[in-house]
Amino acid sequence: MPARRSSADQRKGVRERSSVKRPADTPFINREISWIRFHQRILEEAQCTDHPLLERVKFLAICGSNLDEFFMVRVSGLKRQLKKGALETPPDGLTPLEQMEVVNEELLPLLEAHGKLWYEDLLPKLEAAGITIHRVKDLDTGRRQGLRDYFERMIFPALTPLALDFNQPFPFISNLSINLAVSVRHPQRGDRYARVKVPLDLFPRFVPLPGSSPGRKQEFVLLEDLVADNLDLLFPGMKVRYSHMFRITRDADIEITTDEAEDLLTAIEESVETRRIGSPIRLEVGKDMPDKLVDLFATKLGLHQLMVFRSHAPLSMVSFWDLLSLHRPDLKDPPFLPFVPADLMPEKSLMTAVEHRDRLFYHPYDSFVPLVNFLKQAANDPQVLAIKITLYRIDKHSPVIDALMEARENGKAVAAVVELKARFDEENNIVWARALENAGVHVVYGLMDLKVHAKLLLVVRKMGDRIVRYSHMSSGNYNAQTSRIYGDIGYLTADQDIGADVADLFNFLTGYSYKDSYRKLLVAPVTLKDEMIAKIDRETARHLEHGDGYIAFKLNGLLDPDVIQALYRASQAGVRVDLNVRGLCALRPGVKGLSENIRVNSIVGRFLEHARIYYFRNGGEEEVLLGSSDMMPRNLKRRVEVLFPVLDEGYRRMLVDRILPIHLMDNTKSRDMLPNGTYVMRKRGKGEEKVDSQEWLIGNRGYWHGEE
């Protein structure tokens, strides 16, 4: 394997080898390229000085977290395809190797930008704000000795140096751990190598200096720096020549097989365990690690040179989240109080309120508390017979789980569909599934071949001689924590057609029922895709006849080639199409003769844009759909998803006239997508009013309920 030089050399080498088709060569933008462009938008938020300082650090931590998942899932898939062959050619036509080359080429300048941002911008500003992260070697003798005493007393007993012999099988190195490759000189045996794992699972990444107080001025050193400065204690009688950081990312896209397992739960547990020992996908090394050592590691790990990266920033940027726990409100976004409508206060009967009018909740601007109170009231209402819910990602201290257990204690029939295959939440969901089962809840562990991603809650209540069904449907999980940081729309209704649809769908999820049609819901993988394409084609036909077609979508991802082709047909017919796509988008807007009537923008800001809104003008018979599904193959083919109509005219008008337009008009946190798949920050015209959609929604919470 050739030695790896600088990042500039890496980029040059990729360009010389690559004859990769660029996005402009096809009607579709490659998914992995689109992801990297999304990553770049998050990095831009970390670079944006309009954010409070610790919020900028948060965005850099998100960059680190997203990159880890990208390699564990997406790049690992490319590596498997290289080894076993591609299952199918992606719409853009790139081979797995071409995609890996493009990933490498596109990522390298962003990785350099991470380091520059941290060392030249954030670190000095943190110090100026009273948060100093020292290098141990720069400290005076007294403070350095204080740290050494702490190391010897607390950290040293937890460390286990591991000999590295490059002539022997390579020892196992755990996924995403920070490690030190240490070169030592033995008096008789000469130069030797060892590996020391930094115990991030036992000690904080940011170690407070002895004697520092939790006041305005706070001082830290990085744990790996502290370990590196005291390696001599681990290797007595030897000379420590040097040490270098490295980190390995492993394949975490687990394969679930039930051949040898008794049930799905056991299969998931066994599969999750394999994630820890998945094959290596990425090697990150400190920028000063010698080329020879890098090559030895890469060879032993079986890694292609495209998957070896010199890091310009500290490894494991996801740990920067730890700084957000500091009590520095002056360096964070100002808090606000989520809105609670007057008739949904805890002392009110929420079921009575919903019988009079459907309710729409836009979190985090609306409080999650009314939904929890609705569940609690249902749990204690003698007339409530049953509660059914889907659970995808569950918070650690869940008020929703508490309410379900309370309902079961009160004799209600409670059923929970717990999706065990929710990536990286499998173990947490298994714990909750067992807790619910122990409480007497009927737990269904999802489906083998489909992920249950639909967000559904059904309450069945007896009222005299009739049964009333209350249905809550949402784009967001039943998770009180994420409801504070994700932009999600939920809808609570007593409409009996929707209630019957939701009941039918639960019967499919919990039993053997199978329906291929629904009254008002669009359900994947059964009806959703075909109906969405039919609605797009209906708008196209309407426009050809009357010239008034208009489509506007707000969603997280747009990758499905058939849906994209339908939108292209609409554009070619003259239909104006506005798309607010937060993340991945394979559609190329503004291409003459193909998509010149389509605009795409993306908003990355304080809250994660997670809501889905699908609007069709439909000749004045306007249709608005909300729900859990993006327009991606996985959502439409391999998941149970639901889109539902907004029945309440007032909420429908508010979505069409204010909420959807404010996201399309944003000129503060919005980027416009160009035909080649790159994004440019939208600029305000001369005299144009500033529009920040998230700030507008904070300032106008209650507006869509008719209260201000």
Catalytic option among 453, 543, 610, 663: 453
Question: Cα(393)–Cα(346) distance, rounded to whole angstroms?
Answer: 25
The answer to whether residues 361 and 338 touch, using CB atoms and an 8 Å cutoff, is no
Local structure of 670: helix, strand or coil = strand
Any idea what the Cα angle at residue 699 is, between residues 665 and 705, rounded to 5°?
90
Burial (0-12, 13-18, 19+ Cβ within 10 Å), 194? buried
The answer to whether residues 489 and 626 touch, using CB atoms and an 8 Å cutoff, is yes
Phi-psi category of residue 236: left, alpha or beta, with phi > 0 → left and psi -120 to 50 → alpha: beta
Question: Cα(22)–Cα(223) distance, rounded to whole angstroms?
Answer: 42
Local structure of 178: helix, strand or coil = strand
Beta-strand relationship, 190-197 and 670-673: unpaired
Which tokens sit at 235? Answer: 């290797």
**The residue type at 360:** L
Question: Cα(486)–Cα(280) distance, rounded to whole angstroms?
Answer: 32
The answer to whether residues 59 and 42 touch, using CB atoms and an 8 Å cutoff, is yes
Question: Cα(454)–Cα(123) distance, rounded to whole angstroms?
Answer: 42
The answer to whether residues 685 and 660 touch, using CB atoms and an 8 Å cutoff, is no
Which residues fall within 8 angstroms of residue 489, CB to CB, at 6 or more apart? Answer: 360, 361, 362, 363, 474, 475, 476, 611, 612, 613, 626
**Tell me, what DSSP letter sits at residue 160?**
-
The answer to whether residues 491 and 704 touch, using CB atoms and an 8 Å cutoff, is no
Query: Helix axis angle, 426-438 relative to 264-275, nearest 10°?
Result: 150
**Tell me, what DSSP letter sits at residue 28?**
B
Question: Cα(622)–Cα(610) distance, rounded to whole angstroms?
Answer: 23
The answer to whether residues 196 and 258 touch, using CB atoms and an 8 Å cutoff, is no
Local structure of 532: helix, strand or coil = helix
Q: Is 663 a catalytic residue?
A: no
Beta-strand relationship, 451-452 and 639-645: parallel
State the DSSP string of 492-525. Answer: EE--HHHHHHHHHHHHHHHSS---S--SS-EEET
The 10 Å CB-count burial string (b at 16+, else e) for 79-98 is bbbeeeebeeebbbebbbbb
Quote the distance between the C-alpha of residue 698 and its chain's center. Answer: 22
Question: Cα(578)–Cα(587) distance, rounded to whole angstroms?
Answer: 12
Query: Helix axis angle, 76-84 relative to 96-117, nearest 10°?
Result: 160
The answer to whether residues 84 and 17 touch, using CB atoms and an 8 Å cutoff, is no
Local structure of 479: helix, strand or coil = coil
Local structure of 692: helix, strand or coil = coil
| Catalytic residue set | 453
